[in-house]
Amino acid sequence: MNIHRIYALLSLFFALSMICKGQPYQRIKNGIKTEVNTIEVEIQYYTPSTVRILKWPSGSTFTKKSLSVIESPQETVFTIHQSGNELVLRSKEVQVALNLKSGSISFLTATGKSLLREKEAGISFARFNDAGVKTYTVGQSFVLDKGEAIYGLGQQQQGKMNQRNDILHMIQGNTDDYIPYFLSEKGYGLYWDNYSPTLFVDNPDSTTFKSDVGKCIDYYFMYGGNAHGVVAQMRDLTGQVPMLPLWTYGYWQSRERYKSQAEIVGVVKRYRELGVPLDGIIQDWQYWGDNSHWNAMEFLNPNFPHPQEMVNEIHAMHAHMIISVWASFGPKTKQYEVLNKKGMLLDFKTWPLSATDAWPPDMSHPSGVRVYDAYNPEARKIFWNFLNKDLFSLGIDGWWLDSSEPDHLDVKPSDFDDQTYLGSFRKVRNAFPLMHVGGIFKGQRSTSSEKRVFILTRSMFAGQQRYGANTWSGDVTASWNALRHQISAGLNLSLCGIPYWNSDIGGFFLTRFPRKLQDANYRELYTRWIQFGAFCPMMRSHGTDAPREIYQFGKKGDVIYDAIDKYINLRYSLLPYIYSTSWNVTAHQGSMMRALVMDFAKDKNALDINNEYMFGKAFLVCPVTQPMYSKEEVQGNDTIKVGDFSQIKSAEVYLPKSTNWIDFWTGENYKGGQTIRKETPIDIMPLYVRGGSIVPIGPKVQYATQKKWDNLEIRVYPGADGRFTLYEDENDNYDYQKGKYSTITFTWNDAKKDLTIGSRQGEFPGMLKARKFLIVLVSHNKGTGMNPIEKYDKVVMYTGGRVSVKL
């Protein structure tokens, strides 16, 4: 008899004995089940630090398989103690206290420190008819500490880090995407596992999730001790993050849209001629031709006569190409015909509304475009099979999933009655992007392991990090406020466990800049946005109304051009750091964009800062989010904005406590816990490195894999002990999952000024057997910015064995 069978019999014995003794609960595997005030309550440990809570009206039954949670409960040791009306479950990490009179639940640390509690009488079940199915509108309220900061809830364009005193109508949109989850500065998180439209309300009285549809209340409480720990718990529940290819971390150019094969190939050629690094080009919509053939996944547009030749030319220039794919199909496409016959198309209005491209849409000629049922596994396979046959077979490198929420226009309540494979559209509305993105990931993984899946998606939901996806913030309108709002949008999403995010550099729409690129204020905004983009998981320029290629902003020697070029090259110099950080995301549940609460939770001054963040563990990034170098000037009858660089301006920067900070550009050393001013000429974004950091600097290249990392500059930033692991593999494919990769760990002893380069661990085909490490101890004007170093402190010939260096 195995241990699991013994455990099951013991659990049954305890359950029966409790019932015989008149105990008010039943012990189940990993938890208990009871009834309080006509509500069934189930408390189940998933791990010693993660607890699932289920509640439903007595007498009702349901079956639920989570779309987001893929982890199974681990066998967890816990005790049960009853004192009066309180039943306490205790694991080695978390206590759960159930009030047997009111039914409310409290969560505490193992030592009894209060973390979160449900509000007394804070539960609601209201009968609801969901397209003929009898169900409930469900809600649960919680009580947070006064002044307690919380984060997450997906991505919103409101510029807030701390999500207290918020009211959010959580339904997926173009620029606002939602996850019913929050993370507390106290080191716990809560995931409300429901996919229907949900109202989140936080006020001084309570914090509430209320969802339109649910057979039950279902949520997970996670205690991680700190923000990183909670993110790790969320990933444990909903899926780990696969590695993206190295080339995805280079620079990407796009526009709405390249209108011909010659144009898109010409852009790559121009970058190569200029010597400006580029790794990717993106083809947006309408390569398929007219709207009746919307998303045909074929180059039916006569301006793209030889698609295979086009892809080959781009690859020959060592660039990659991804392409726009939608979740909807025009009535004359092959996909529409197949899906429609099988009843796998949804019936609400989506983009485009008209069969013509005229604006506003001509509704006398409706497009007939319909969204496919991404909840249906067969429909997802059909989608991938067409994508594979018509685009992946050409060598397309990745997928730009536009309208992946999807677009839902002229919304009517009856639209939500539309039936999907999993029930009403209302029931599963917010999980559409998860199912859509997941279908493409699984389709490509089943087809090939030679090329890592890379998906750029406009929308997301809990668990999407497991699908090789990078979310962008939607079609934002260019403005200084929009730039600032991107920072908190990306950080809050990262705190939801989804680490890969980016925005349209420069903003998608230029409606506030009628002179477009001729407006000096916009040119300044674009430059600041590209500086921010250099420190995002993906660096991608995109937009409509005006093209954004670097040469649209002048030529070498022009102030704006040179500033853009500088940050593209800076991005490439940091690729060894960025790729190693991506390994930390995959292997150790790390985060690339880190809200300050992740590293400085004890610094109250840092908790609500919405314009600074850590990029990996080393860099404090402080984007400039206000204009400094444009002024109004009268020219003829017009008042226009012109550039004025006659005076250097400055920006205010807060340096968090508990460490020292070194100016990346000058090497100056500052004590944390203070606000300083940093001079910010147009080519300088405030950038500080935490004391104790070790940062590898890569070679000057035109694309990510042009040169091997055989002469890496290793910058050591003094002020604290430090550690950094350099990760390398084949840069693409899934061999790393078979252990084909290597790591080299650098350790810095600040007191002794010793740098230890550890023995190389692991190996992979093509690995460097011998290399140089060019070591520099950063100081004032030494090892700073992108300045060449005349003489390094040490040059180490490294062949894989441990080396100790005295600096």
Q: Which of 475, 668, 735, 763 is catalytic?
A: 475
Task: State both tokens at 592.
Answer: 């690339």
350 domain residue, yes or no: yes
User: Taking a C-beta distance cutoff of 8 angstroms, is the pair 640, 519 a contact?
Assistant: yes
Residues 280 and 132 occupy one common structural domain: no
Packing angle of the helix pair 575-588, 559-573 (nearest 10 deg) = 50
Average pLDDT rounded to a whole number, residues 53-69? 95
Strand order in the sheet with 320-325: 501-502, 469-472, 455-457, 398-401, 320-325, 280-283, 251-253, 539-541
CB neighbour list of residue 331: distance below 8 Å, 6 or more residues apart: 292, 367, 368, 369, 370
Q: Is the pLDDT of residue 96 over 50?
A: yes
User: Taking a C-beta distance cutoff of 8 angstroms, is the pair 280, 247 a contact?
Assistant: yes
Q: Which of 402, 504, 565, 612 is catalytic?
A: 402
Q: Active site includes 732?
A: no
Residues 218 and 256 occupy one common structural domain: no
pLDDT at 364: 81
CB neighbour list of residue 606: distance below 8 Å, 6 or more residues apart: 596, 597, 600, 654, 656, 657
Residues 361 and 261 occupy one common structural domain: yes
Residue 257, domain CATH: 3.20.20.80
Identify the bridge partners of residue 99 per DSSP, sorted by sequence position.
Answer: 86
Residue whose entry in the numeric block shows the structure tokens 């529940």: 237
DSSP codes, 258-285:
--SHHHHHHHHHHHHHHT----EEEE-S
The verdict on whether omega for the bond into residue 352 sits within 30 degrees of 0, i.e. cis, is yes
Average pLDDT rounded to a whole number, residues 735-746? 98
The verdict on whether omega for the bond into residue 512 sits within 30 degrees of 0, i.e. cis, is no
Range of the domain at 98: 3-143+188-223
Question: Rounded to whole angstroms, how far apart are CA atoms 731 and 736?
Answer: 9
Strand order in the sheet with 754-757: 722-728, 742-749, 754-757, 803-806
Residues 290 and 417 occupy one common structural domain: yes
Q: Residue 7: pLDDT band by 50, 70, 90 thresholds? A: very low
750 domain residue, yes or no: no
Residue 42, domain CATH: 2.60.40.1760
Global pTM exceeds 0.75: yes
User: What phi and psi, each to the nearest 5 degrees, are found at residue 223?
Assistant: -115, 115
DSSP codes, 47-68:
ETTEEEEEEEETT-------SS
pLDDT at 643: 84
| Total number of domains in the chain | 2
Q: Which of 414, 432, 467 is the last residue of a domain?
A: 467
Average pLDDT rounded to a whole number, residues 92-111? 97
Q: Which of 467, 485, 507 is the last residue of a domain?
A: 467
Q: Which amino acid is at 740?
A: K
Q: Active site includes 205?
A: no
Q: Active site includes 166?
A: no
For 146, counting Cβ atoms within 10 Å of its Cβ (0-12 exposed, 13-18 middle, 19+ buried), the class is exposed
Question: Rounded to whole angstroms, how far apart are CA atoms 647 and 626?
Answer: 16
| Strands 469-472 and 455-457, bridge-based pairing | parallel
pLDDT at 629: 95
Packing angle of the helix pair 377-390, 432-447 (nearest 10 deg) = 50
Closest CA to 460 of 489, 439, 431, 485: 431
10 domain residue, yes or no: yes
801 domain residue, yes or no: no
Rounded to the nearest integer, the mean pLDDT of the chain is: 95
Q: Residue 642: pLDDT band by 50, 70, 90 thresholds? A: confident
Q: Is the pLDDT of residue 462 over 80?
A: yes
Identify the bridge partners of residue 704 per DSSP, sorted by sequence position.
Answer: none
CB neighbour list of residue 790: distance below 8 Å, 6 or more residues apart: none
pLDDT at 1: 45
Q: Which of 414, 446, 467 is the last residue of a domain?
A: 467
Residues 263 and 192 occupy one common structural domain: no
User: Taking a C-beta distance cutoff of 8 angstroms, is the pair 430, 154 a contact?
Assistant: no
315 domain residue, yes or no: yes
Task: State both tokens at 599.
Answer: 């590293």
Residues 102 and 218 occupy one common structural domain: yes
Question: Rounded to whole angstroms, how far apart are CA atoms 202 and 603?
Answer: 23
User: Taking a C-beta distance cutoff of 8 angstroms, is the pair 758, 747 a contact?
Assistant: yes
Question: Rounded to whole angstroms, how far apart are CA atoms 224 and 598?
Answer: 12
DSSP helix, strand, coil percent of the chain (3-state; round to 5): 25, 30, 45
339 domain residue, yes or no: yes
Question: 115 or 18: whose pLDDT is higher?
Answer: 115
Residues 207 and 301 occupy one common structural domain: no
User: What phi and psi, each to the nearest 5 degrees, are found at residue 488?
Assistant: -70, -30
Residues 39 and 138 occupy one common structural domain: yes
The number of residues making up the chain comes to 807
Q: Which of 118, 284, 405, 407 is catalytic?
A: 405
563 domain residue, yes or no: no
Average pLDDT rounded to a whole number, residues 369-381? 98
Distances 16 to 12, 22, 312, 407, 779 between C-alpha atoms, Å: 6, 10, 69, 53, 70
Alpha-carbon dihedral 410, 416, 418, 421, rounded to 10 degrees: 130
Residue whose entry in the numeric block shows the structure tokens 């860099």: 619
> What's the pLDDT tens digit per position in 135-161?
999 999 999 999 999 999 999 999 999
Q: Residue 23: pLDDT band by 50, 70, 90 thresholds? A: low
pLDDT at 15: 43
Question: 16 or 422: whose pLDDT is higher?
Answer: 422
- Classified as helix, coil or strand, 117 is strand
- Classified as helix, coil or strand, 307 is helix
Question: Rounded to whole angstroms, how far apart are CA atoms 640 and 33?
Answer: 70
Question: Rounded to whole angstroms, how far apart are CA atoms 788 and 575?
Answer: 17
701 domain residue, yes or no: no
Closest CA to 501 of 653, 615, 351: 615
> What's the pLDDT tens digit per position in 577-634?
999 999 999 999 999 999 999 999 999 999 999 999 999 999 999 999 999 998 877 6
CB neighbour list of residue 805: distance below 8 Å, 6 or more residues apart: 754, 755, 756, 757, 775, 794, 796
CB neighbour list of residue 355: distance below 8 Å, 6 or more residues apart: 290, 291, 292, 362, 365, 366, 367, 368
Average pLDDT rounded to a whole number, residues 547-574? 98
CB neighbour list of residue 273: distance below 8 Å, 6 or more residues apart: none
Task: State both tokens at 406.
Answer: 């999807």
Residues 285 and 411 occupy one common structural domain: yes
**Neighbouring C-beta atoms of residue 410, cutoff 10 Å:** 10
Residues 211 and 357 occupy one common structural domain: no
Residues 136 and 249 occupy one common structural domain: no
Residues 297 and 344 occupy one common structural domain: yes
E-only strand ranges, 21-113: 25-28, 31-36, 39-47, 50-57, 79-83, 86-90, 94-99, 105-109
In angstroms and rounded to an integer, the radius of gyration of the C-alpha atoms of the chain is: 27
Average pLDDT rounded to a whole number, residues 739-757? 98
Q: Residue 790: pLDDT band by 50, 70, 90 thresholds? A: confident
User: Taking a C-beta distance cutoff of 8 angstroms, is the pair 406, 350 a contact?
Assistant: yes
> What's the pLDDT tens digit per position in 688-721?
999 999 999 999 999 999 999 999 999 999 999 9
| DSSP designation for 75 | P
CB neighbour list of residue 750: distance below 8 Å, 6 or more residues apart: 691, 692, 718, 719, 720, 721, 722
